Amino acid sequence: MRNREMPANQPKTGKRKKAQPQTSSDDREALIRRRAFQIYEHRGLKPGDATHDWYQAEAEIRAQMIDSGLEDI
């Protein structure tokens, strides 16, 4: 087995920082769209509250992303 030297920029413990998963804006929008539709379905498919549904879905998805470390506050 060869003795490998660690690069100078690596910590001597051998541990690397975990990269934060990234979510594209397209992925985020798709999640919001899906959740907004679920909210619409939940209130009986009644028209007239699409903007409210979108904002509620956006807030829920953002909170989930923050909790899971996918988005900063």
The pTM of the full predicted model, rounded to 2 decimals, is: 0.65
The pLDDT value recorded for residue 8 is: 57
Task: Report how far residue 69's alpha carbon sits from residue 73's, in angstroms, rounded to the nearest whole number.
Answer: 10
Q: Which pLDDT does position 58 carry in this prediction?
A: 97
How far, in Å, CA of 36 to CA of 30, rounded? 10
Q: How much is the pLDDT for 3?
A: 54
- pLDDT, mean of each 10-residue run, the chain (73 residues): 54 53 84 97 93 97 91 68
Which residue pairs, CB below 8 angstroms and at least 24 apart, start in 11-15? none
